Amino acid sequence: MTADISRSIRFRGIAFLTPIDHRKATRRLLLAYGVSLFLFALWPTLDLRVSALFHTEGAGFTLAAVPALHVLRETVWNLSIAMFALSLGALGLAAFGRAIPGFEARTAGFVFLLYLLGPILLVNGLLKRFWGRARPADITEFGGSREFTPPWLPADQCAANCSFVSGEGSAATALLLSLLVLAPALRGFLPPAAFRVYLGLAILLPAMGIALRVATGRHFLSDTVFAVLFVLTIALVLHRLLLTPRTP
């Protein structure tokens, strides 16, 4: 879906992205789910092996103590909060007939519902609250006291704010998609060089934010992979409902 959205930034309008082939996007998404489930089921220690790349015996996940990386993480998180707040404000303005050009009611509704249904309700409200998977830094393999459990099985190793799935990873994915949704409108206001920088940062910052959750021992690889997939699924449904032009 991300590739389809990226191609839409060739710009054929302000309020909507160019049409997405939802059937093709759905097939690709289902394939991604299948490959991910098969990979982590076939190789259950993959999460441990990836996390071990960033763990030092006796020192833990050392990247977690790097100030610059902490600033980067906070930047991505704050951008997500700002985007959610902006979408809510844009919806309010649209309700009073003062819609922001390029961020009209449907576009703002897409962004608002993407965050609400994904990171807020599904991820933090349900999965992280009840799945019970311990974070990498808390399991015995990396100096903690909890047991490692695979991503597809609910566990009892964590009581709250657990590892599966990544909350910040889901928010970063929502941020990336939101920034791409806004790209067609911004292209009309930004110089070409500035627009290319915008697109680069729109992809790079969220991607780095997701990677940092693994590198700092806060999440397993599978936590981030499925966080991305869940948000993409919600985005695909919302795009079909809100951002696809209707044929009379």
To the question of pTM greater than 0.85 for the whole model, the response is yes
The per-residue pLDDT string of the chain (248 residues; one tens digit each, 9 = 90 and over) reads 433 333 443 433 333 344 678 899 999 999 999 999 999 999 989 999 999 999 999 899 999 999 999 999 999 999 999 999 999 999 999 999 999 988 999 999 999 999 999 999 999 999 999 999 999 999 999 999 999 999 999 999 999 999 999 999 999 999 999 999 999 889 888 999 999 999 999 999 999 999 999 999 999 999 999 999 999 999 999 999 998 876 55
Confidence (pLDDT) at 247: 58
Confidence (pLDDT) at 213: 96
Confidence (pLDDT) at 34: 97
Give a three-class secondary structure readout of the chain: CHHHHHHHHHCCCCCCCCCCCHHHHHHHHHHHHHHHHHHHHHCCCHHHHHHHCCCECCCECHHHHCHHHHHHHHHHHHHHHHHHHHHHHHHHHHHCCCCECCECHHHHHHHHHHHHHHHHHHHHHHHHHHCCCCCHHHEHHHCCCECCCCCCCCCCCCCCCCCCCCHHHHHHHHHHHHHHHHHHHHHCCCCHHHHHHHHHHHHHHHHHHHHHHHHCCCCCHHHHHHHHHHHHHHHHHHHHHHHCCCCC
139: burial class by Cβ within 10 Å (0-12, 13-18, 19+)? buried
Confidence (pLDDT) at 68: 96
Confidence (pLDDT) at 188: 83
Nearest to 6 by CA among 181, 194, 163: 181
